[in-house]
Structure 1
Amino acid sequence: SITIDDDEMIDRLSRMFVRSGASEECASLVRGAVKDGYRRLMRPSIENEVAAATKEKSDDAAIQMFADNVRQLLMAAPLGRKRVLAIDPGFRTGCKLVVLDEQGNLLQHDVIYPTPPANDFVGAADALCFYVDRYRIDAIAIGNGTAGRETERFIRDVMLPRKVQLFMVNENGASVYSASEVAREEFPNEDVTVRGAVSIGRRLIDPLAELVKIDPKAIGVGQYQHAVNQTKLKDSLDYVVESCVNTVGVNVNTASRQLLSYVSGIGPSLAANIVKYRAENGDFTSRDQLLQVPRMGEKAFQQCAGFLRIPGAPNPLDNTGVHPERYELVEQIAFDAKADVARLARDRNLLHSIELDRYVTKEVGLPTLTDIILELEKPGRDPRETVEETPYDDSVRTIDDLHIGQELTGKVNNITAFGVFVDLGMKENGLIHISQLSERFISSPSEVVSIGQNVRVRVMDIDTSRGRIALTMKGVAQ
């Protein structure tokens, strides 16, 4: 609410408009007009103006926080090219199980019933062992929704035929994807439960490539995203997604149409043309080949080429962030160093012995040359970190297993202006208030933690009836 001292305002306005020396009858008339004008017109106008300015300021802060959260989620560590068994858990309907290859392609799907009411532990364990062995599974991804913890504990008790990593995956938005046009396009013959499980598995393999298919508002992070200015929010999120995609780079031979459409210079129609050309002509073997794609002009190629990667291309520069217009320069540097480009990318000592000042021109400055050398040092390397398992405490299964003073490991799954929500390995999330994040003063939780980070916390308070858990990181060794 906006509180204004009406008497003070009317007095001030009266001093401005009621002239001294005027007759009492005239002064009374003007004073009445001032009072009426203030109450009927001016006060509502002031309230609306202040409310609009405050709303705009609040919107900007909420949008910024939501955009930061989405950026962290999109830049989350990928598992990489591994075979994954993904499970969308459930009680009555069972756990939907899908097998994905290194590219995230669906190989097989099934349903197991290791949870109540069926409790088919033997049948479920046999099916798990069969799929893990037959498809040489490297990791298992379990959705963190209903029956997620129960399914995880069951799998941990199964003696699998090979060493497999186990991950809990945030499934927010998986149902949105499974019912979307994109999912129907990808899997026209599968039902929504299979599509949802595929999304869970692909999020583990590469979160960025999968999450770009979902409206960022449905990802389940942030605060007030449905109450803010939707145009501003969309612009901000589009920028964040495009920025993340371009930072990581895109494998042009495996990227989906949705992922390609976020690359600078490529829109939805050109992305569809690239995918169609790839399907008809096989994998791209060089960046120059992109110019043969319908509607790929010189301008679009100039904008997008540096962000598209071709692993295993004959020219090693096609798998780096070096733009084709600088290939000639790199080849000249390699020639002067008496080596080829492939050796230049392998030999760090040779790279660091190059005198970059020799190659500075009006078109190419020292910062560009430095970037080229850094890119040659790590051709094709993903800038994101590697994914880690979260070591939840096995003794904690429900809120009743907690006690005040207990120390636990959890995973940050949402950041708001007032604090951080932490997944403790059970249905309820714990909250670390912003005042309990650090011994020093902080203005934003993002200064201390990021989404997906594993943290050590201590239980401060438990409200079982309302399902609320208060946590602190103060005095807890990380």
Structure 2
Amino acid sequence: PGEKPVKVIVSEAGASVYSASERASREMPDIDVSLRGAASIARRLQDPLAEIVKVDPKAIGVGQYQHDVDQGALGRALETVVEDAVNAVGVDVNTASSALLAHVSGIGPVLAEAIVAHRDKEGPFATRRKLMAVPRLGPKAFEQCAGFLRIQGGTEPLDASAVHPEAYPIATKIVAAAGKDLATLMGDAPTLRGLDPRQFAVDGFGLPTVKDILAELEKPGRDPRPSFATATFMEGVSEMSDLKPGMMLEGTVTNVAAFGAFVDIGVHQDGLVHVSEISDQFVKDPADVVKTGQVVQVRVLEVDARRKRISLSMKTAAAGKAETAAARPERSERPRPATAGGKPTAVKAEP
């Protein structure tokens, strides 16, 4: 009670593609196509990665020149990026959809469907080792995928971490050296930092690997993604007509191009921060300074309602004024009309 609802803008890029897909019809068979898209957008706010993997990355809009490059090479590159992101975050094998599991190293679409089918029939997996009971999931596939799959509340605490089952013996040695049980040691940063990682290094598990294991035990199952942040839009600003030059607003970067960055400021049209207005310093490539999803402070420079264009600046107000003054010639330097004998001379225009 008393808490004010927060307005959050969620990108709808690719939602229409998903809503008309076979996957959407399987997941929401009794719902209208337009409502499927709305549900997908809402799910993106709850768990962006789990929902966006259901859409072909090319349908999201990945850059200014995406249609001008080799589509096969682009598809492979995007697939690699998605797989890297999924593996870096980790996947809860007992709750993940087949679409998300398919992007885990060593699994793929066929095995992902087999894992979900086995889970639906036999119930949640109690340990990572139970995955070996899934048809067609052999030792090689298990070796590749196990470290990226998480099991929360299982019988083996390490299954909820990024420690690979092959490294469990090293973790056991660390626990013994600490003189505590595993559940107590996990998350105990002072104790773990007091251990010498060199004493646990063996053939096959060098010093870098041991350090990674210690770091994971210190923060088990940590999510590498930053905390959720959203722009706070100004009250009373919801249409282009509400904008006035000089307004300071908060917005979210929606796209970055060679000529600048587009920013959502809470109206129905994204504003453009030209590359020359991104910083007080010279900027060669906007991508070096801003990225999609970043929350930024902007100043309204100009609003063209007829052409639906909003010009924004990320420069400090002082820098903007200084630049304007520098561009305007001093009084003594301003051009004077041509004179003859001290009198102004009329200049005839060229035909």
Does structure 2 conserve the Cα–Cα contact (< 8 Å) formed by 1:457 and 1:476?
Answer: no
- Aligned runs of 1:117-266 on 2, under 5 Å? 164-266=5-107
Does structure 1 conserve the Cα–Cα contact (< 8 Å) formed by 2:102 and 2:111?
Answer: yes
Match of 1:359 in 2: 200
C-alpha distance in structure 1 between counterparts of 2:143 and 2:99, whole Å: 20
C-alpha distance in structure 2 between counterparts of 1:244 and 1:324, whole Å: 21
Match of 1:389 in 2: 230
Q: 2:176 aligns with which of 335, 352, 359?
A: 335
Match of 2:219 in 1: 378
1:325 and 2:170 matched: no
**Deviation at residue 241 of structure 1 after TM alignment:** 0.3
Does structure 2 conserve the Cα–Cα contact (< 8 Å) formed by 1:410 and 1:424?
Answer: yes
Does structure 2 conserve the Cα–Cα contact (< 8 Å) formed by 1:221 and 1:415?
Answer: no
Does structure 2 conserve the Cα–Cα contact (< 8 Å) formed by 1:356 and 1:366?
Answer: yes
C-alpha distance in structure 2 between counterparts of 1:348 and 1:412, whole Å: 36
Q: 2:118 aligns with which of 269, 274, 277?
A: 277
Does structure 2 conserve the Cα–Cα contact (< 8 Å) formed by 1:241 and 1:262?
Answer: yes
Give ranges in structure 1 of 5+ residues lacking alignment: 1-159
Does structure 1 conserve the Cα–Cα contact (< 8 Å) formed by 2:237 and 2:267?
Answer: yes
C-alpha distance in structure 2 between counterparts of 1:354 and 1:374, whole Å: 12
1:303 and 2:303 matched: no
**Deviation at residue 325 of structure 1 after TM alignment:** 0.4
Q: 2:276 aligns with which of 435, 441, 444?
A: 435
1:414 and 1:339, CA in 2 relative to 1: closer, same or farther beyond 3 A? same
TM-score w.r.t. structure 1 length? 0.64
- Aligned runs of 1:417-428 on 2, under 5 Å? 417-428=258-269
1:420 and 1:463, CA in 2 relative to 1: closer, same or farther beyond 3 A? same
Match of 2:255 in 1: 414
1:223 and 1:300, CA in 2 relative to 1: closer, same or farther beyond 3 A? same
C-alpha distance in structure 1 between counterparts of 2:62 and 2:253, whole Å: 11
C-alpha distance in structure 1 between counterparts of 2:113 and 2:26, whole Å: 12
Does structure 2 conserve the Cα–Cα contact (< 8 Å) formed by 1:221 and 1:413?
Answer: no
1:472 and 2:313 matched: yes
**Deviation at residue 165 of structure 1 after TM alignment:** 4.3
| Secondary structure of residue in 2 paired with 1:385 | coil
Does structure 1 conserve the Cα–Cα contact (< 8 Å) formed by 2:299 and 2:312?
Answer: yes
1:336 is aligned with what amino acid?
A
C-alpha distance in structure 1 between counterparts of 2:192 and 2:267, whole Å: 50
Deviations 1:40-77 (A, max 9, x none): xxxxxxxxxxxxxxxxxxxxxxxxxxxxxxxxxxxxxx
Deviations 1:10-66 (A, max 9, x none): xxxxxxxxxxxxxxxxxxxxxxxxxxxxxxxxxxxxxxxxxxxxxxxxxxxxxxxxx
1:312 and 2:153 matched: yes
C-alpha distance in structure 2 between counterparts of 1:234 and 1:278, whole Å: 30
**Deviation at residue 389 of structure 1 after TM alignment:** 3.4
- Aligned runs of 1:31-180 on 2, under 5 Å? 164-180=5-21
- Aligned runs of 1:444-459 on 2, under 5 Å? 444-459=285-300
Give ranges in structure 2 of 5+ residues lacking alignment: 319-351
C-alpha distance in structure 2 between counterparts of 1:435 and 1:185, whole Å: 48
Does structure 2 conserve the Cα–Cα contact (< 8 Å) formed by 1:291 and 1:301?
Answer: yes
C-alpha distance in structure 1 between counterparts of 2:7 and 2:123, whole Å: 34
**Deviation at residue 291 of structure 1 after TM alignment:** 0.4
Does structure 2 conserve the Cα–Cα contact (< 8 Å) formed by 1:265 and 1:301?
Answer: yes
1:298 is aligned with what amino acid?
P
Match of 2:321 in 1: none
1:174 is aligned with what amino acid?
A
2:164 is aligned with what amino acid?
H
C-alpha distance in structure 2 between counterparts of 1:239 and 1:207, whole Å: 18
1:372 is aligned with what amino acid?
I
1:397 is aligned with what amino acid?
S
Residues matched between the structures, number: 318
Does structure 2 conserve the Cα–Cα contact (< 8 Å) formed by 1:456 and 1:476?
Answer: no
1:389 is aligned with what amino acid?
T
**Deviation at residue 231 of structure 1 after TM alignment:** 0.8
Match of 1:349 in 2: 190
Deviations 1:219-238 (A, max 9, x none): 13421212321011101100
C-alpha distance in structure 1 between counterparts of 2:187 and 2:265, whole Å: 43
Does structure 1 conserve the Cα–Cα contact (< 8 Å) formed by 2:58 and 2:75?
Answer: no
C-alpha distance in structure 2 between counterparts of 1:322 and 1:372, whole Å: 6
Does structure 2 conserve the Cα–Cα contact (< 8 Å) formed by 1:311 and 1:380?
Answer: no
| Secondary structure of residue in 2 paired with 1:455 | strand
C-alpha distance in structure 2 between counterparts of 1:266 and 1:406, whole Å: 51
Match of 1:148 in 2: none
| Secondary structure of residue in 2 paired with 1:214 | coil
C-alpha distance in structure 1 between counterparts of 2:202 and 2:96, whole Å: 36
Q: 2:108 aligns with which of 250, 259, 267?
A: 267
C-alpha distance in structure 1 between counterparts of 2:306 and 2:3, whole Å: 42
RMSD of aligned alpha carbons: 1.7
| Secondary structure of residue in 2 paired with 1:168 | coil
Deviations 1:135-189 (A, max 9, x none): xxxxxxxxxxxxxxxxxxxxxxxxx797654422111211111110110111112
Deviations 1:87-126 (A, max 9, x none): xxxxxxxxxxxxxxxxxxxxxxxxxxxxxxxxxxxxxxxx
